[in-house]
């Protein structure tokens, strides 16, 4: 009998293919940060309890919140906001300094739109840093993958 094995590296790469990502350091609580994003940009970020990212470390499960929003003028773009810290643990240990990861999936996101988002985020009181990162900067890619 032949056993098939799922190639997790390919799955992770497919999930992150073509995405644009912003890492954000902010001293704001999750719900307040989402409120600012929704108010500033017209998004509708909502907590997705069914898509919390469970990560097991030290014989304990940690659950990292995920918020999602679409775009009213482009149904082919999805915005995913990960809260990257939970009870002293990190969703992406290689990026411990950041509090949020904003992933934009779908249609091509132009540099102008991403720069507009970055500049807007920087105006939110409590935001210390906003920077674009690529999938190559993330070692723990599997921690970001969930069933869409």
Cα distance between residue 97 and residue 12, in whole Å = 23
In degrees and rounded to multiples of 5, residue 127 shows phi and psi of -90, 125
14 in a structural domain = no
Q: Which tens digit of pLDDT belongs to each residue from 75-110?
A: 888 999 999 988 888 888 888 899 999 999 887 788
Q: Which tens digit of pLDDT belongs to each residue from 119-143?
A: 999 999 999 999 999 888 787 767 6
How many structural domains is the chain composed of? 1
85 in a structural domain = yes
Q: Which residues form the domain of 79? A: 19-135
108 in a structural domain = yes
Cα distance between residue 101 and residue 146, in whole Å = 15
Q: Which tens digit of pLDDT belongs to each residue from 40-51?
A: 999 999 998 766
DSSP 141: G
């Amino acid at each position: 009998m032949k056993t098939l094995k799922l190639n997790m590296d390919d799955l992770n790469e497919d999930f992150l293919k073509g995405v644009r990502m912003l890492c954000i350091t902010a001293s704001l609580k999750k719900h307040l940060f989402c409120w600012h994003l929704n108010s500033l940009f017209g998004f509708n970020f909502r907590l997705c309890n069914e898509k919390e990212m469970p990560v097991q470390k030290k014989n304990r499960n940690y659950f990292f919140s995920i918020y999602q929003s679409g775009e009213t003028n482009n149904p082919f773009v999805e915005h995913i906001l990960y809260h990257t810290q939970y009870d002293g643990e990190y969703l992406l240990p290689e990026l411990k300094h950041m509090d949020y990861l904003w992933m934009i999936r779908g249609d091509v996101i132009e540099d102008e739109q991403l720069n507009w988002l970055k500049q807007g985020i920087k105006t939110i009181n409590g935001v210390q840093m906003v920077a674009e990162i690529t999938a190559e900067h993330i070692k723990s890619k599997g921690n970001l993958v969930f069933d869409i």
